[in-house]
Amino acid sequence: MAIDNDGDAERFSFEAFTRHPFFTEVNRWIVERVIDPGRRKVVDLGCGPGAVTKLILEHLGDPHGARVIGIDPSESALARARAAIHSRVVEFIQGSAEWVSRLVSSADAVVFLNAIHLVGDKAQVIGEIRKALKRGGVFAFNTTFFKGAYVEGTSGFWRRWVLRAVQVLRERGIEVKHSTHATAREFLTADEYADLCVNAGFARPSVELVRIEMPPESLEDIGRFSLFIEGALPGVPLEEGAKALKEGLKRAIEETGLDTVPRNWLEGVAVAV
């Protein structure tokens, strides 16, 4: 990815978004249910700059004998995670969900938070995660890019935000290529996620929704994240995309009069059988 090469990595990092309290809330929901002293070998898949890794460490209690393995394809995200977390039980490895079982085996838990929507072949990836776990191990995931993420009455806002960003780009002479499909755009239902887990060798997972309120500053922050820009405005250079999303957000908020925007997170925990 181009952003791994220079200072862009910092400007377009996920880190600013992770500082919003609701983001800790949706991740804590999973971590509290999955991390306990009995689960010693934990994989933080798609760890990014390490916000979830930190939560896992907090919940491990006595870290003696524990191992936490953060895995992410992005070297720049891993560099930020390594700089932020200094613990002898944590290691960060470059890798991808598509071949996680070649990197880890017999894990007690694999958490894959805010990232599962980014993978193209979800069935293959969930199969890989099953292979990386021991029997009785848990796979936990969450995402806010699924069918059901939009709280009633808000879909107009989300559509308007992107439309206004596209309008801003047009005003600046930049066209958005509608033909480019980003994998981040494929929204599954909760049932589809549950079916994929069952097919991969898990007991049918409990899948629940957590509703949070997103303040405008958090939307501005996600609008500066490289993968969000690529998903919302395929093919647009990051710098231009970020500026357009910021201006588009301002217009969408003015037009809809929304103060904060509610949104659902899907939270799933599946046990390997």
| Shortest spacing between CB 61 and ligand SAM, in angstroms | 21
Contact between residue 119 and residue 244 where contact means Cβ atoms under 8 Å apart: no
Burial degree of 171 (CB within 10 A; 0-12, 13-18, 19+): exposed
Please identify which residue in 35, 52, 104, 107 interacts with ligand SAM, judged by CB under 6 A: 52
Mapped onto helix, strand or coil, the DSSP state of residue 120 is coil
- Contacts with ligand SAM: how many residues (CB under 6 A)? 21
| Shortest spacing between CB 45 and ligand SAM, in angstroms | 6
Please identify which residue in 46, 137, 205, 241 interacts with ligand SAM, judged by CB under 6 A: 46
- Of 119 and 162, CB closest to ligand SAM: 119
| Shortest spacing between CB 48 and ligand SAM, in angstroms | 3
Residue sitting closest to ligand SAM (CB): 48
Query: Which contacts qualify for 81-90: CB closer than 8 Å, 24 or more apart?
Result: 81/47, 81/48, 81/49, 81/50, 81/53, 84/49, 84/50, 84/54, 85/50, 85/53, 85/54, 85/57, 87/57, 87/63, 88/63, 89/57, 89/60, 89/63, 90/53, 90/57
| Residues 71-130, interacting with ligand SAM (CB under 6 A) | 72-74, 77, 96-98, 113-115, 118-119
Residue numbers at the binding site for ligand SAM (CB under 6 A) = 14, 18, 27, 45-48, 51-52, 72-74, 77, 96-98, 113-115, 118-119
